[in-house]
């Protein structure tokens, strides 16, 4: 099975198991890319790279790409901490006329909840990040496995090429 390292750099897309088309997006036609990754320690960094590159290739603003990468990192790290290493997760990004939709699915059934953070807490800010960066977000049962969940976030369209 291919790992993210196999397809994190350009030109090594053979193992990506991706649905990304090799064309430029139009606002009339949504584009979609899906990656299946293991919740291993290095996965969030690799996902950040490929996600930012995909959004940039679709004409997305670097700020939107950064926000999507940050949210994906937080959600994958949450999966890693709760599901353990080697759990299969799915990361999906779609380009729509209104913006980008990011979805991260993992096998853990617990839904994201807002928790009180201490001064030194290094985890537990997923909901606050979703609220701050997404236009809308939500979570639903049925993730990478039947018992899991999908967390999605919609990010505003800002097109680097068209100045929107």
* 70 band by pLDDT with thresholds 50, 70 and 90: very high
State mean pLDDT over 134-161. 82
Tell me which residue has tokens 């999906």. 92
* 59 band by pLDDT with thresholds 50, 70 and 90: confident
Q: Looking at 74-78, 142-146, 160-164, which range is the least confident one?
A: 160-164
- What is Dmax (Cα atoms) for the chain? 46
Pairwise CA distance, residues 12 & 93, whole Å: 19
Pairwise CA distance, residues 31 & 28, whole Å: 10
The structural domains of the chain, with segments of one domain joined by +, span 31-156
Pairwise CA distance, residues 48 & 104, whole Å: 13
Cβ atoms of 154 and 138 closer than 8 Å: no
What was the pLDDT predicted at 140? Answer: 93
CATH code of domain 31-156: 3.30.565.10
What was the pLDDT predicted at 3? Answer: 38
């Amino acid at each position: 099975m291919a790992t993210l390292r196999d397809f994190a750099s350009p030109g090594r897309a053979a193992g990506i198991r991706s649905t990304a088309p090799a064309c430029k997006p139009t606002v009339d036609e949504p584009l979609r890319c899906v990656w299946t990754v293991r919740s291993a320690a290095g996965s969030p960094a690799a996902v950040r790279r490929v996600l930012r590159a995909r959004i940039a290739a679709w004409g997305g603003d670097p700020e939107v790409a950064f926000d999507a990468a940050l949210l994906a990192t937080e959600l994958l790290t949450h999966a890693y901490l709760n599901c353990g290493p080697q759990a299969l997760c799915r990361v999906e990004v779609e380009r729509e006329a209104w913006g980008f939709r990011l979805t991260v699915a993992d096998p853990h059934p617990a839904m994201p909840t807002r928790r009180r953070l201490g001064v030194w807490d290094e985890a537990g800010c997923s909901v606050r990040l979703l609220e701050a960066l997404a236009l809308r977000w939500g979570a639903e049962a049925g993730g990478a496995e039947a018992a899991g969940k999908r967390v999605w976030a919609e990010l505003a369209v800002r097109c680097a090429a068209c100045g929107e």
